[in-house]
Copies of this chain bind each other. A is one copy, B any other.
């Protein structure tokens, strides 16, 4: 079995199983929301498309952020800590990088899982029992490499123990170069953005590093219009 990494969604990489990583913070939050009891998460790139889902479906909570700040009129932001209890059956989230990565992965993989450190153990077990080659698709930031996502790709690649492509080998070596996930996340552009936005958001860095605390393995179910539908 082989593990590959696409450090950005545009990178050419395909495998039967794709795992999307946007660890600070979209995929951490999706894992937390589904573990807490939301039955479905709909991810949209555009804010208006998330708002439209509230008109279309019953019992929809709106979550998401732009530049670290909760979106005007939305119920919740993008901190995993806001999703410890479900507020309705369905969550609609507007996230740019994460949603694009999910759609890109769905175009070239038979199945797409959602990865983070929070669900690390369950994710690795589910991937191993699928028994297929894997590509870890990092969401990155606006099409560019993100250190936090690459770090988590390295953690997953190492845990899988499969044969590694050049990219997977580089990701595993990146992990070895840090003392901890928190050190890597704090140095990343996404982590520095949280730190710059004050102690409340800074605390999310540590929240996203807790490995294996959730059992949820979110899977991409299909597109619902322009929204990517995710269920555990």
**A residues bordering B, Cβ < 8 Å?**
4-5, 7-8, 10-13, 141-147, 150, 165-167, 169-170, 173-174, 176-177, 187-189
Contact = CB atoms under 8 A, between A and B. Distances in A.
A145 B165 contact: yes
B174 A147 contact: no
B174 A145 contact: no
A177 B173 contact: yes
B147 A170 contact: yes
A37 B143 CA distance: 39
A134 to B, nearest CB: 15
A8 B5 contact: no
Contact of A8 (B10, B169, B189): B10
User: Shortest 3 CB-CB distances between A and B: which pairs?
Assistant: A12-B143, A145-B167, A147-B166
B166 A188 contact: yes
Contacts of A13: 144
A141 to B, nearest CB: 8
